[in-house]
Amino acid sequence: MGKIISVCIAKGGVGKTTTSVNLAASLALAEKSTLLIDIDPYGSSAVAMGFTPDKIKAGISEIFNFSKAIEYTIHKTEIPFLDFVPANINSIQNDERFAKMTENRVVLKNALKDIRNKYDFIIIDCPPTLRGITLNALTASDTVLIPVKCGQFSLEAVDKLYDYINWVREVSNPYLDIEGILLTMYEKNSKVTEISERELRLKYDGYLFQNNIPVTNLLNEATFYGKPLCLYKINSEGSVAYINLSYEIITKNQELLNKSKE
Protein backbone atom coordinates (compact mmCIF):
# COMPACT_ATOMS: atom_id res chain seq x y z
CA MET A 1 0.00 0.00 0.00
CA GLY A 2 1.49 3.32 -1.08
CA LYS A 3 2.26 6.05 1.42
CA ILE A 4 0.35 9.30 0.96
CA ILE A 5 2.26 12.46 1.89
CA SER A 6 0.73 15.94 1.76
CA VAL A 7 3.15 18.84 1.29
CA CYS A 8 1.42 21.52 3.30
CA ILE A 9 1.77 24.78 5.22
CA ALA A 10 -0.48 27.86 5.34
CA LYS A 11 2.21 30.14 3.95
CA GLY A 12 3.01 31.12 0.38
CA GLY A 13 6.50 31.40 -1.07
CA VAL A 14 8.11 28.66 1.01
CA GLY A 15 8.59 26.07 -1.74
CA LYS A 16 5.54 23.81 -1.45
CA THR A 17 5.16 23.21 -5.18
CA THR A 18 8.91 23.16 -5.78
CA THR A 19 9.25 20.53 -3.06
CA SER A 20 6.26 18.49 -4.26
CA VAL A 21 7.50 18.36 -7.86
CA ASN A 22 11.18 17.78 -7.14
CA LEU A 23 10.62 15.28 -4.35
CA ALA A 24 8.19 13.28 -6.50
CA ALA A 25 10.65 13.33 -9.41
CA SER A 26 13.54 12.27 -7.16
CA LEU A 27 11.53 9.38 -5.70
CA ALA A 28 10.74 8.28 -9.26
CA LEU A 29 14.41 8.48 -10.23
CA ALA A 30 15.04 6.04 -7.37
CA GLU A 31 12.58 3.76 -9.21
CA LYS A 32 9.84 4.17 -6.61
CA SER A 33 6.49 4.32 -8.35
CA THR A 34 5.20 7.78 -7.52
CA LEU A 35 2.02 9.76 -8.15
CA LEU A 36 2.08 13.54 -7.84
CA ILE A 37 -1.34 15.14 -7.26
CA ASP A 38 -1.84 18.89 -7.59
CA ILE A 39 -4.82 20.16 -5.57
CA ASP A 40 -3.83 23.83 -5.57
CA PRO A 41 -6.32 25.76 -7.77
CA TYR A 42 -3.40 27.78 -9.18
CA GLY A 43 -2.12 24.60 -10.80
CA SER A 44 1.56 25.46 -10.41
CA SER A 45 2.69 21.83 -10.44
CA ALA A 46 1.40 21.45 -14.00
CA VAL A 47 3.54 24.41 -15.08
CA ALA A 48 6.58 22.96 -13.31
CA MET A 49 5.96 19.59 -15.00
CA GLY A 50 5.48 21.10 -18.45
CA PHE A 51 1.74 20.39 -18.74
CA THR A 52 0.05 23.17 -20.69
CA PRO A 53 -3.80 23.23 -20.72
CA ASP A 54 -3.94 21.49 -24.11
CA LYS A 55 -2.05 18.51 -22.64
CA ILE A 56 -4.46 18.04 -19.72
CA LYS A 57 -7.29 15.59 -20.43
CA ALA A 58 -8.85 15.69 -16.95
CA GLY A 59 -7.81 16.42 -13.39
CA ILE A 60 -8.78 17.06 -9.82
CA SER A 61 -11.94 18.93 -10.86
CA GLU A 62 -13.44 15.80 -12.45
CA ILE A 63 -12.59 13.75 -9.37
CA PHE A 64 -14.55 16.10 -7.12
CA ASN A 65 -17.56 16.46 -9.38
CA PHE A 66 -17.63 12.66 -9.78
CA SER A 67 -17.56 12.83 -13.58
CA LYS A 68 -14.41 10.68 -13.87
CA ALA A 69 -12.65 8.11 -11.71
CA ILE A 70 -9.13 9.05 -10.67
CA GLU A 71 -7.65 6.50 -13.10
CA TYR A 72 -8.82 8.68 -16.00
CA THR A 73 -7.10 11.79 -14.63
CA ILE A 74 -3.61 10.25 -14.38
CA HIS A 75 -1.05 11.57 -16.88
CA LYS A 76 2.27 9.96 -17.73
CA THR A 77 5.38 12.13 -17.43
CA GLU A 78 8.90 12.18 -18.88
CA ILE A 79 10.08 10.12 -15.89
CA PRO A 80 9.09 6.44 -16.20
CA PHE A 81 8.12 5.93 -12.54
CA LEU A 82 6.27 9.26 -12.15
CA ASP A 83 2.56 9.89 -12.88
CA PHE A 84 0.68 13.15 -12.41
CA VAL A 85 -2.86 14.32 -11.64
CA PRO A 86 -3.20 18.05 -12.45
CA ALA A 87 -5.36 20.73 -10.89
CA ASN A 88 -7.56 21.99 -13.71
CA ILE A 89 -9.65 24.62 -11.94
CA ASN A 90 -9.09 27.33 -14.52
CA SER A 91 -11.82 29.90 -13.90
CA ILE A 92 -13.43 31.81 -11.02
CA GLN A 93 -16.68 29.92 -11.60
CA ASN A 94 -14.91 26.57 -11.44
CA ASP A 95 -13.04 27.69 -8.33
CA GLU A 96 -16.29 28.57 -6.54
CA ARG A 97 -17.94 25.28 -7.51
CA PHE A 98 -14.82 23.39 -6.54
CA ALA A 99 -14.75 25.05 -3.10
CA LYS A 100 -18.29 23.81 -2.45
CA MET A 101 -17.46 20.29 -3.60
CA THR A 102 -14.51 20.07 -1.21
CA GLU A 103 -16.84 20.46 1.77
CA ASN A 104 -17.17 16.67 1.59
CA ARG A 105 -13.87 15.91 3.31
CA VAL A 106 -13.58 12.26 2.22
CA VAL A 107 -13.81 12.65 -1.58
CA LEU A 108 -10.06 12.43 -2.16
CA LYS A 109 -9.61 9.65 0.40
CA ASN A 110 -12.26 7.54 -1.32
CA ALA A 111 -10.83 8.27 -4.77
CA LEU A 112 -7.35 7.13 -3.73
CA LYS A 113 -8.54 3.81 -2.28
CA ASP A 114 -8.66 2.24 -5.75
CA ILE A 115 -5.14 3.23 -6.82
CA ARG A 116 -2.88 3.60 -3.77
CA ASN A 117 -1.71 -0.01 -4.07
CA LYS A 118 -0.23 0.83 -7.47
CA TYR A 119 2.26 3.33 -6.02
CA ASP A 120 5.03 3.41 -3.46
CA PHE A 121 4.44 7.11 -2.78
CA ILE A 122 1.62 9.57 -3.47
CA ILE A 123 2.67 13.20 -3.06
CA ILE A 124 -0.06 15.85 -2.74
CA ASP A 125 0.76 19.50 -3.46
CA CYS A 126 -1.58 21.53 -1.22
CA PRO A 127 -2.60 25.20 -1.47
CA PRO A 128 -1.50 27.68 1.24
CA THR A 129 -4.82 27.42 3.09
CA LEU A 130 -6.09 25.21 5.91
CA ARG A 131 -9.64 24.39 4.84
CA GLY A 132 -11.65 22.74 2.08
CA ILE A 133 -9.36 20.91 -0.30
CA THR A 134 -6.48 20.90 2.21
CA LEU A 135 -8.69 19.17 4.76
CA ASN A 136 -9.52 16.64 2.02
CA ALA A 137 -5.81 16.03 1.47
CA LEU A 138 -4.99 15.64 5.16
CA THR A 139 -7.96 13.34 5.66
CA ALA A 140 -6.57 11.14 2.87
CA SER A 141 -2.90 11.31 3.92
CA ASP A 142 -0.68 9.23 6.13
CA THR A 143 1.72 12.07 6.86
CA VAL A 144 2.42 15.76 6.28
CA LEU A 145 5.69 17.16 4.96
CA ILE A 146 6.09 20.77 6.11
CA PRO A 147 8.36 23.03 4.00
CA VAL A 148 9.67 26.02 5.96
CA LYS A 149 11.56 29.05 4.75
CA CYS A 150 13.57 30.43 7.64
CA GLY A 151 11.88 33.48 9.15
CA GLN A 152 9.43 34.51 11.88
CA PHE A 153 6.29 34.25 9.75
CA SER A 154 7.09 30.71 8.64
CA LEU A 155 7.71 29.63 12.23
CA GLU A 156 4.28 30.95 13.18
CA ALA A 157 2.79 29.05 10.22
CA VAL A 158 4.34 25.80 11.52
CA ASP A 159 2.70 26.34 14.92
CA LYS A 160 -0.64 27.00 13.22
CA LEU A 161 -0.34 23.88 11.05
CA TYR A 162 0.66 21.74 14.03
CA ASP A 163 -2.53 22.80 15.84
CA TYR A 164 -4.54 22.15 12.68
CA ILE A 165 -3.08 18.64 12.33
CA ASN A 166 -4.19 17.90 15.90
CA TRP A 167 -7.70 19.09 14.97
CA VAL A 168 -7.72 16.90 11.83
CA ARG A 169 -6.78 13.93 14.00
CA GLU A 170 -9.85 14.60 16.12
CA VAL A 171 -12.38 15.11 13.31
CA SER A 172 -11.33 12.99 10.32
CA ASN A 173 -7.95 11.22 10.44
CA PRO A 174 -6.71 9.93 13.81
CA TYR A 175 -3.64 8.33 12.20
CA LEU A 176 -2.25 11.49 10.56
CA ASP A 177 1.42 11.98 11.40
CA ILE A 178 4.20 14.40 10.47
CA GLU A 179 6.67 13.09 7.89
CA GLY A 180 9.09 15.87 8.66
CA ILE A 181 9.89 19.58 8.58
CA LEU A 182 12.02 20.62 5.61
CA LEU A 183 14.07 23.80 5.63
CA THR A 184 13.89 25.34 2.15
CA MET A 185 15.76 28.29 0.59
CA TYR A 186 18.38 27.50 3.19
CA GLU A 187 21.19 30.05 3.58
CA LYS A 188 24.21 28.91 5.51
CA ASN A 189 25.78 31.35 7.96
CA SER A 190 22.68 33.55 8.01
CA LYS A 191 21.51 34.95 11.34
CA VAL A 192 17.86 34.39 10.36
CA THR A 193 18.65 30.78 9.47
CA GLU A 194 20.48 30.27 12.76
CA ILE A 195 17.61 31.68 14.85
CA SER A 196 14.91 29.86 12.88
CA GLU A 197 16.68 26.51 13.05
CA ARG A 198 17.29 26.92 16.78
CA GLU A 199 13.62 27.72 17.42
CA LEU A 200 12.44 24.78 15.33
CA ARG A 201 14.75 22.39 17.16
CA LEU A 202 13.45 23.61 20.51
CA LYS A 203 9.83 22.90 19.51
CA TYR A 204 9.99 20.21 16.82
CA ASP A 205 13.45 18.64 17.04
CA GLY A 206 12.29 15.11 16.29
CA TYR A 207 10.63 16.20 13.05
CA LEU A 208 13.43 18.09 11.26
CA PHE A 209 14.86 16.38 8.20
CA GLN A 210 18.62 15.93 8.08
CA ASN A 211 18.67 17.38 4.57
CA ASN A 212 17.94 21.03 3.72
CA ILE A 213 17.18 22.65 0.37
CA PRO A 214 19.63 25.46 -0.46
CA VAL A 215 18.82 28.78 -2.06
CA THR A 216 19.29 28.37 -5.81
CA ASN A 217 17.89 30.17 -8.84
CA LEU A 218 18.10 26.94 -10.82
CA LEU A 219 14.92 25.65 -9.17
CA ASN A 220 12.98 28.61 -10.59
CA GLU A 221 14.86 28.40 -13.86
CA ALA A 222 13.89 24.75 -14.36
CA THR A 223 10.22 25.72 -13.97
CA PHE A 224 10.45 27.95 -17.05
CA TYR A 225 11.39 24.84 -19.02
CA GLY A 226 8.62 22.75 -17.44
CA LYS A 227 11.00 20.27 -15.87
CA PRO A 228 11.93 19.09 -12.39
CA LEU A 229 15.47 20.15 -11.60
CA CYS A 230 16.74 16.56 -11.84
CA LEU A 231 15.84 16.60 -15.56
CA TYR A 232 17.24 20.08 -16.09
CA LYS A 233 20.57 19.94 -14.23
CA ILE A 234 20.85 16.74 -12.23
CA ASN A 235 24.28 17.53 -10.75
CA SER A 236 23.23 20.93 -9.42
CA GLU A 237 23.19 21.60 -5.68
CA GLY A 238 19.38 21.84 -5.56
CA SER A 239 18.85 18.63 -7.49
CA VAL A 240 21.27 16.72 -5.29
CA ALA A 241 19.52 18.11 -2.18
CA TYR A 242 16.13 16.78 -3.32
CA ILE A 243 17.64 13.43 -4.30
CA ASN A 244 19.18 13.18 -0.84
CA LEU A 245 15.82 14.08 0.71
CA SER A 246 14.12 11.35 -1.30
CA TYR A 247 16.60 8.77 -0.03
CA GLU A 248 16.07 9.98 3.54
CA ILE A 249 12.32 9.43 3.10
CA ILE A 250 12.82 6.06 1.39
CA THR A 251 15.09 4.90 4.21
CA LYS A 252 12.61 6.09 6.83
CA ASN A 253 9.80 4.18 5.11
CA GLN A 254 11.77 1.08 4.09
CA GLU A 255 9.76 -1.24 6.32
CA LEU A 256 6.50 -0.04 4.78
CA LEU A 257 7.93 -0.41 1.27
CA ASN A 258 9.04 -3.96 2.05
CA LYS A 259 5.58 -4.88 3.33
CA SER A 260 3.92 -3.53 0.19
CA LYS A 261 5.98 -5.94 -1.92
CA GLU A 262 5.04 -9.02 0.10
The structural domains of the chain, ordered by start, are 3-250 (3.40.50.300)
Interval 4-27 mean pLDDT = 94
Percentage of the chain beyond pLDDT 70 is 96
- The mean of the pLDDT values for the chain is 90
Confidence grade of residue 92 (pLDDT, cut at 50, 70, 90): very low
For position 93, what pLDDT does the model report? 47
How do residues 180-192 score in pLDDT, each as one tens digit?
999 998 888 888 8
For position 150, what pLDDT does the model report? 79
- Report how far residue 216's alpha carbon sits from residue 134's, in angstroms, rounded to the nearest whole number: 28
| CB count in 10 Å sphere of residue 95 | 13
Percentages (nearest 5) of helix, strand, coil residues in the chain:
50, 15, 35
For position 262, what pLDDT does the model report? 59
Q: Is 76 exposed, middle or buried (0-12, 13-18, 19+ CB in 10 A)?
A: exposed
- The distance of Cα 82 from the centroid of its chain, to the nearest Å, equals 14
Query: Picking from 10-19, 146-155, 238-247, which range would have the lowest pLDDT averaged per residue?
Result: 146-155
Ramachandran category for residue 15: left, alpha or beta (phi over 0 → left; psi -120 to 50 → alpha): left
Confidence grade of residue 96 (pLDDT, cut at 50, 70, 90): low
For position 61, what pLDDT does the model report? 87
Percentage of the chain beyond pLDDT 90 is 61
Torsion of CA 207, 238, 29, 116, to 10 degrees: 40
For position 49, what pLDDT does the model report? 93
- CB neighbours of 128 closer than 8 A, spacing ≥ 6? 9, 10, 11, 12, 16
For position 104, what pLDDT does the model report? 82
Confidence grade of residue 168 (pLDDT, cut at 50, 70, 90): very high
Contact assessment for residue 85 and residue 36, using Cβ atoms and an 8 Å cutoff: yes
For position 90, what pLDDT does the model report? 63
- CB neighbours of 131 closer than 8 A, spacing ≥ 6? none
- Report how far residue 141's alpha carbon sits from residue 61's, in angstroms, rounded to the nearest whole number: 19
Task: Give Rg (Cα) of the chain.
Answer: 17
For CA atoms 9, 141, 163, 212, the dihedral sign is negative
How do residues 49-90 score in pLDDT, each as one tens digit?
999 888 999 999 889 889 899 999 999 999 999 999 998 876
Interval 19-30 mean pLDDT = 96
Q: Is the pLDDT of residue 195 over 70?
A: yes
Residue 6 has phi, psi (to 5 degrees) of -90, 130
- CB neighbours of 122 closer than 8 A, spacing ≥ 6? 2, 3, 4, 5, 34, 35, 37, 112, 116
Q: Is the pLDDT of residue 194 over 70?
A: yes
For position 94, what pLDDT does the model report? 62
How do residues 97-136 score in pLDDT, each as one tens digit?
777 777 788 999 999 998 999 999 999 999 998 888 999 9
